[in-house]
Structure 1
Amino acid sequence: MIPPSSALAELADAAADLHGLPDAGRLRWSAPDTWHFTLAFLGEVGEDLLPELTERLGRAAHRHPAHELRLAGGGRFGDRVLWAGAEGDVGTLGALARSAAAGARRTGIDVDESRPFHAHLTLARATGRVSLRPYAEALADFRGTPFPAGRLELVRSRLPGSGTPGERPRYETVRAWELGT
């Protein structure tokens, strides 16, 4: 699920201050145009599975209503990943995530379920030993404007292949469905 550009811009403004914190240069920052909620990580999906996957994801989208979210707060997964969180109807977002994962499993796709769903957008990854605590604390009071969450999107990652230092993955929406009936 990709938040609207206005919500991403608010978060980008809040995150800009983080670049002035100690060791910020040792973090690999995600660009705002790549920020999204990963509802289910599917890994490699063969082209032959896409028709059934898109059918199942479409059904999953129609079973869940549009709902309201806001980007809010920040946290970290250890000292590896800095993230921004969400508030609002995260229960509906979590149910949608479970349905998307179930649809992928029924298609025959291995779904990474090593961690429970936690609504977040990855802002940065640590390269080496960096304490992410001050970054998460700096985002603790951030509260964006509420927005309607009304689409499920199948997003493909294109990993860097050129070997160029600093090159980042690219994301493209393969298909999208409106939530609800």
Structure 2
Amino acid sequence: MTNSNYFYALKLPNEAKYYIHENLTELKDKLTFNKWVHPEDFHITLAFLGKVEEEKLKDSIQKVRNSCLEQPGFSLKLTELGIFGPAASPRILWAGVQNEDRLYSLQKAVYISCEEAGFLLDKKPFKPHITVARKYKGDNKFNPDSLSTLGEFTFTADRFTLYKTNIGMSPSYETIQDFNLNIME
């Protein structure tokens, strides 16, 4: 059993990471969170595996590769900022993306492949988001009205990745395997 956590996630292109980071600069000065996520770590989780046995991990890679071979790439549009947890003291600040059926299809294919490899995964419904900060710790109650939209920014989702978490490092996530989506020209 490995000591690190592993997960599959949609990899954001650098221009999307930069756009989100730049649009959070002003907010960072106003909101106090315990941790702001390093821009290199921005992603959309498809399946969280946790600590893994190497054979199961290899099996999941093969099953994911086979099931996602024909998955098409697609465009995603960033939308609003939101929170998970109590409104006065949220656990997570996130950037959202517009609903896209192909993202849900990709997540389902990855999720099912991981279950077939023997992983017990979270049963909560998929809520695509990009975590940008964790654990609000401001002196005042958090005000959800302080959040804004992210403007108009669309990017091409052309790959997803198996990541390993390196606790205590920044950026924290290490690419183990990239999977390219089928981009139609």
TM bucket (normalised to shorter chain) is 0.7 to 0.9
Report the counterpart of residue 70 of structure 2 in structure 1. 63
CA deviation string 1:153-180 (max 9, x = no partner)? 11111223xxxxxx65711111111123
Report the counterpart of residue 149 of structure 1 in structure 2. 157
The CA distance in 1 between the partners of 2:56 and 2:82, in whole Å, is: 35
The CA distance in 2 between the partners of 1:47 and 1:180, in whole Å, is: 28
Q: Percent identity?
A: 27
The alpha carbon displacement at 1:128 in A equals 4.5
The alpha carbon displacement at 1:144 in A equals 4.3
Amino acid at match of 1:142: L
The CA distance in 1 between the partners of 2:64 and 2:143, in whole Å, is: 35
Report the counterpart of residue 176 of structure 1 in structure 2. 178
**What are the within-5 Å matches in structure 2 for residues 1-181 of structure 1?**
1-21=10-30, 24-78=31-85, 79-87=90-98, 90-113=100-123, 115-128=124-137, 130-131=141-142, 133-135=144-146, 137-138=147-148, 141-160=149-168, 170-180=172-182
The CA distance in 2 between the partners of 1:110 and 1:9, in whole Å, is: 34
Contact 1:52/1:107 (8 A) holds in 2: yes
What are the ranges of 5 or more consecutive residues in structure 1 without an aligned counterpart?
A: 161-166
The CA distance in 1 between the partners of 2:27 and 2:51, in whole Å, is: 33
Indicate the structure with greater helix content.
1
Report the counterpart of residue 164 of structure 1 in structure 2. none
Superposed CA RMSD: 2.1
The CA distance in 2 between the partners of 1:103 and 1:158, in whole Å, is: 24
SS in 2 for 1:109: coil
**What is the aligned length?**
168
Taking structure 2 as the reference length, the TM-score comes to: 0.81
The alpha carbon displacement at 1:20 in A equals 2.1
CA deviation string 1:65-106 (max 9, x = no partner)? 11111222111112211100112x622111111111110110
Amino acid at match of 2:155: F
SS in 2 for 1:15: helix
Contact 1:26/1:128 (8 A) holds in 2: yes
What are the ranges of 5 or more consecutive residues in structure 2 without an aligned counterpart?
A: 1-9
* Runs ≥4 residues deviating over 4 A: 127-130
Indicate the structure with greater strand content.
2
